[in-house]
Structure formats: C-alpha cells, structure tokens
Amino acid sequence: MPSSFAHAAAGAALTSVVAHAPNRRLLIAAAVCAAFPDVDALGRPFGNLSYEGAFGGHRGFTHSILFAILAGAVTAWIFRRDTLAARDAQFRLWLAFAVAIASHGVLDALSTIGNGVAFWAPFSWTHYEFVWQPLGELGPGPRGPVRLFALVANELLWVGLPALVVVGVGRMLRRGPRDRVAETPAEHYAVTKYSSGRLVNPSRARYEKNAPGFFYAVGGCLACGAPEHEAPELMSTLDDDNWETYFVRQPQTPEEVEHACRAIEVCCLATLRYGGHDPAVIRRLGNRPEYCDHLLPGGLVRMPWETDAQWLKVQQELREPKRWWQFWRS
C-alpha cells in the first residue's frame, strides 16, 4: 500500500498547484493532512481493533470525500492568515487542503492491498477500488532489502514522478511568482486605505523634480520630514525654499535601496513609490499596491514589523477586485 511518505508527497504537490499562494507552512500542513486519514489504523500495532471500528474500519470515514471536505475546511480556517483575505484565495486554500486529504483515498484505491475505500461514507460503506492498481504488492517473494527497494522504486515511479510533474506544471502555470512581475499593474487593485487609516494617493504621475529612476514621488506630501530622516542622502532637503518631498538621487547600493524602501514605508500619504520590476525590492515593500507600480503573483508579503492584528487588517483592506466570473465573492 502507499506509504505515509507517498501520501505526503502527493498532497504537497497538489496543494502547490491549487493553493493561491503556497508557502512552506502550507505545503508542510498539506503533507501532514494527506497522511492523516490513516489515523483510523493507529490501534492496529497494539491489537486494538475497536478504535478502528469507531471510524467504520480502516479506509472508512477518514478516507471519505465528506471527511476531506470537513477536515479541509478546518485546516483552511487554521491557516487562514497565510493567504489573502479575498474570498477566492480563501476558497482555494480550502480546496487545496480538501484535495490533499482526498488524494489519500485515491492512492489507496490504486493499491492491490486492502479491500478498497469507502469514498461515500457515512452515506454508504461500500468500498471501491480502481480496476488499474499499479501500487501495492509486487507478487510473491522473500522479504528483505531487495523487496523493500522494489517497493520504494514502485512508489517513486507511480507517485513520486507524477508529483514532480504536477509541481513543474504548477510552477509553469504560476509563471514564477517569486521571479516575475504580474502583468496586472497595481492600480487595478481596489485600494482605498492602509491599515493605519491613511489615504492612498492613486496618482502615478511623477513629480517633475524627481531624479530619473524607479524610485519616485508623486507630489503632495505633508513635508513631515519622516522620509528625509530615513534616506537623507536620497531625498530633497526641506527648507524655506522647498516644501516638497522627492528623490534627488536614485539608490546605488543595497544599503541605499533599503533606505529608499524605508522612506516609502514611512511616507504618511503614500506619495513615494517604486516603479521598477525587481522582485527583491517588490517583496521588500510587501508586494503592496500602495508602494509598487507592479506586483508579484501570490499576494501580499508580511512586513517584519507587522503584528498579527496589523497583518490581518492589511489583508482585509487590500483585496483584489472581484472578477465577473467569480460568482462566489460578494
């Protein structure tokens, strides 16, 4: 029968494709969820079959479609903060966990070991199995390292290799979310305010005095002096002859890029922006539409200084717009 490692690999691979923005935590959780249905057999090593009977026998309720739906919903609720607050992202998170858990029963039904899977439990306790069963016993033979190697090779062929293909296809469809910028510019996102309640300047028109480059100001700052404090070598000097904040020089070193990013973050009216396509800079700025002209696929990136409450509020306020075909969103 498929091992726990095979179930975990299949679940993680499927989640990497279905989830909106899979990260390491979600993939590990999906792997654990995919192996979890075998919890109904924990009593077998100790001869306690009554525990197994509570779930309708091995490959009973915990291997059913209904269990996958319910357990996927609970797991998605636990990890709800790992994705965007938009309903389509939450739906895909639930779907990813449900598919990962349901994959356990599918693999078991592909095995020659056992009596099938009760996919429709508790409504029907009939066990089903597929006609084609490449997994399981390899025929009679002595137990030992050679047979163990054959079993491992069988799982690698029928589970490991397809899992790699699924992950590869998923990365192609996702178009390299960590390395490529989305075609949708930031102004297409429905942004009205940030978590601190400040208004976002929707303008993308560069202030005429900006130094040529990707970091720029749109004008209209309050001249509070905060951006100038973070990047004094890059920003204009506020004095009696100048009350406007803008970039007099573009950053040339990693330290200056960090200073420019800090200046953008502390600007109270969000009049400082980054118009480039560097994924590292965009992620440093949280992949936020109020900071960047171009966004990376995969959703927002949490800032190091954001608390759990601030991060949740940011997700709730910075939502992707509803598309005409997304009927499940309000």
Q: Which residue has the higher pLDDT, 190 or 296?
A: 296
Q: Is it the case that residue 125 has pLDDT exceeding 50? A: yes
Q: Is it the case that residue 289 has pLDDT exceeding 90? A: no
Q: pLDDT value at position 198?
A: 38
Q: pLDDT value at position 82?
A: 53
Report, as an integer, the average pLDDT of 229-255. Answer: 91
Q: pLDDT value at position 172?
A: 77
Residue 63 near residue 104 (C-beta atoms within 8 A): yes
Share of the chain above pLDDT 70, in %: 76
Name the residue with tokens 């904040």: 245
Q: Is it the case that residue 93 has pLDDT exceeding 90? A: no
Q: Which two tokens stand for residue 52?
A: 């197994």
Q: Is it the case that residue 197 has pLDDT exceeding 60? A: no
Lowest mean pLDDT among 67-71, 218-222, 296-300, 321-325: 321-325
Distance CA 300, CA 286 (A): 6
Q: pLDDT value at position 194?
A: 36
Mean pLDDT, the chain, rounded, equals: 80
Lowest mean pLDDT among 91-95, 155-159, 297-301: 297-301
**DSSP of 152-199, one letter per residue?**
HHHHIIIIIHHHHHHHHHHHHHHT-TTTS--SSBGGGSB--B-TT-PB
Q: Which residue has the higher pLDDT, 317 or 86?
A: 317
- Residues shown for the chain: 330
Rounded to whole angstroms, the maximal C-alpha distance in the chain is: 92
Q: pLDDT value at position 81?
A: 58
Name the residue with tokens 């070991």: 113
Q: Is it the case that residue 184 has pLDDT exceeding 50? A: no
Residue 76 near residue 29 (C-beta atoms within 8 A): no
Residue 100 near residue 69 (C-beta atoms within 8 A): no
Q: pLDDT value at position 273?
A: 93
Q: Which two tokens stand for residue 49?
A: 């079959």
Report, as an integer, the average pLDDT of 187-192. Answer: 38
Q: pLDDT value at position 87?
A: 54
Q: pLDDT value at position 159?
A: 94
Q: Which residue has the higher pLDDT, 173 or 57?
A: 57
Q: Which residue has the higher pLDDT, 309 or 156?
A: 156
Phi first, then psi: what are they for 73, rounded to 5°?
-65, -45
Q: pLDDT value at position 152?
A: 87
Lowest mean pLDDT among 79-93, 112-126, 184-198, 292-306: 184-198
Q: pLDDT value at position 142?
A: 60
Q: Is it the case that residue 141 has pLDDT exceeding 60? A: no
Within 22-160, where are the H helices? 24-35, 49-53, 65-78, 87-109, 145-155
**Which of 44, 42, 92, 47 shows the shortest CA–CA distance to 72?**
92
User: Cβ–Cβ contacts within 10 Å for residue 102, how many?
Assistant: 23
Which pTM value belongs to this model?
0.55
Distance CA 54, CA 40 (A): 8
Per-residue pLDDT band at 55 (split at 50, 70, 90): confident
Task: Give me the residue spans of the domains in the chain.
Answer: 4-174, 180-330
Distance CA 92, CA 77 (A): 12
Report, as an integer, the average pLDDT of 97-114. Answer: 93
CA quadruple 247, 253, 259, 262: dihedral, nearest 10: 100
**Which of 123, 74, 62, 35 shows the shortest CA–CA distance to 52?**
62
Per-residue pLDDT band at 137 (split at 50, 70, 90): low
Distance CA 264, CA 266 (A): 6
Phi first, then psi: what are they for 292, rounded to 5°?
-120, 140
